[in-house]
Amino acid sequence: MPYITVGKENSGDIDLYYEDHGTGMPVVLISGWPLSGASWEKQVPVLLEAGYRVITYDRRGFGWSARPASGYDYDTFASDLDILMCELDLGDATLVGFSMGGGEVARYIGTFGSQRVRGVAFISAIPPFLLKTDDNPEGVDGSVFDGMRRAIVEDRPGFLARFFQDFYNVDKFGGTRISDAAVQLSWKVAVGASAAATLACVSAWLIDFRDDLSLIKVSTLVFHGDADRIVPFEASGKRTHELIAGSRLVVVKGAPHGLNWTHAAELNHALLDFLKIVSAAMPARAKKAAKKRR
């Protein structure tokens, strides 16, 4: 199993599990909370078939990655992503962030720039700023996140079971676009994550990414469902699109937060179209280099 070391905690290494498949222009898929890189199972085969190099990884504290006691903040997450990008020597890449993963995309560009990046995609993503404040009236009231933290501390497995009902809008799509077994699989992955990481990440979501988004000058896709009960479109995707000049917005009517499963065909189609746009905008030199990597 491939790992990259991103730090140390006392006597142990902090290692991130990753998968690196295919050839061609790199596409880095960054998962959402509280899942792992395995959550992209409906996207990876399609992207590989289309001729892309596809990289997934598990955020620290989740999946097969190490579970340190600290480091669950976006500066650290962005640093972890940068180490991965450098260790794999990725260039002309497209970063695709789902939900919490959209924060990594924004903070990575805001901190490390876009020298290695040709495109970014925000899928059901949390930027620009989820917390409601005086200068951010479109955000979500802080009491919602306080309630989540209390529920996680009191009964994390029970909270996660309820969470995935709204993650996939199971009352609408259960038995049609998603099976009970698939929902249970998500719960199993989530409940196997670090309890400390699961709790700490809730606070990380409240970071203001507006300055980071202002620095994004590469091709951008914003993809969101208008029935998202976890990260409401009006508070997130709509505003991200408005803040990034020239970004491409795709809103899926009736789609939930976890649309990478329930509306995988729609997302895959949009991603492939977007990646063609990214590729077409690449200089001839970069296209030639991508072809050599095939």
pLDDT tens-digit series, residues 74-106: 999 999 999 999 999 999 999 999 999 999 999
Is the pLDDT at 289 greater than 70? The verdict is no
> Beta-strand (E) ranges in 10-146?
12-21, 26-30, 53-57, 93-98, 117-123
Partners of 248 in the β-ladder:
221
Decide if 207 is inside a domain.
yes
Could you give the CA distance from residue 232 to residue 169 in angstroms, rounded to a whole number? 13
Decide if 294 is inside a domain.
no
> Residue 219 is inside which H or E element, if any?
strand 219-225
Q: Which of 58, 257, 263, 279 is catalytic?
A: 257
Is the pLDDT at 288 greater than 90? The verdict is no
Is the pLDDT at 292 greater than 70? The verdict is no
Could you give the CA distance from residue 123 to residue 94 in angstroms, rounded to a whole number? 13
Tokens 């789609």, residue? Answer: 255
For residue 267, the number of C-alpha atoms closer than 13 Å in the C-beta half-sphere is: 28
Q: Which of 99, 194, 236, 279 is catalytic?
A: 99
Least confident of 121-125, 139-143, 180-184, 187-191: 139-143
Decide if 261 is inside a domain.
yes
Decide if 67 is inside a domain.
yes
Q: What is the pTM of this model?
A: 0.95
Decide if 291 is inside a domain.
no
What pLDDT is stored for residue 235 in this prediction?
Answer: 95
What pLDDT is stored for residue 12 in this prediction?
Answer: 96
Instruction: Summarize the confidence of residues 43-52 as an average pLDDT.
Output: 98
Return the CATH number at 224. Answer: 3.40.50.1820
Indicate the average pLDDT of the chain: 95
Could you give the CA distance from residue 88 to residue 116 in angstroms, rounded to a whole number? 11
Joined tokens for residue 254: 């009736």
Q: Which of 222, 216, 210, 25 is nearest to 121 (CA)?
A: 222
What pLDDT is stored for residue 1 in this prediction?
Answer: 77
Are the beta carbons of 237 and 224 closer than 8 angstroms?
yes
Decide if 46 is inside a domain.
yes
Amino acid letter for position 207: I
Task: Give percent of the chain above pLDDT 70.
Answer: 96
Decide if 289 is inside a domain.
no
Is the pLDDT at 284 greater than 70? The verdict is no
Are the beta carbons of 44 and 54 closer than 8 angstroms?
yes
Q: Which of 58, 212, 228, 263 is catalytic?
A: 228
Is the pLDDT at 125 greater than 90? The verdict is yes
For this structure, is 99 an active site residue? yes
C-alpha distances in Å from residue 216, one per residue of 21, 22, 115, 245, 287: 27, 27, 11, 9, 21
Domain range holding 213? 3-283
> Residue 242 is inside which H or E element, if any?
helix 237-243
Number of domains in the chain: 1
> Residue 221 is inside which H or E element, if any?
strand 219-225
What per-residue string of b and e applies to 85-115 under the rule 16 or more CB within 10 Å gives b?
A: beebebbbbbbbbbbbbbbbbbbbbbebebe
The larger pLDDT score, comparing residue 202 to residue 287, is at: 202
Are the beta carbons of 69 and 10 closer than 8 angstroms?
no
Decide if 200 is inside a domain.
yes
Instruction: Summarize the confidence of residues 230-253 as an average pLDDT.
Output: 97
Instruction: Summarize the confidence of residues 171-176 as an average pLDDT.
Output: 98
User: pLDDT tens digits, residue range 248-281?
Assistant: 999 999 999 999 999 999 999 999 999 999 999 8
What pLDDT is stored for residue 282 in this prediction?
Answer: 75
Instruction: Summarize the confidence of residues 170-191 as an average pLDDT.
Output: 98
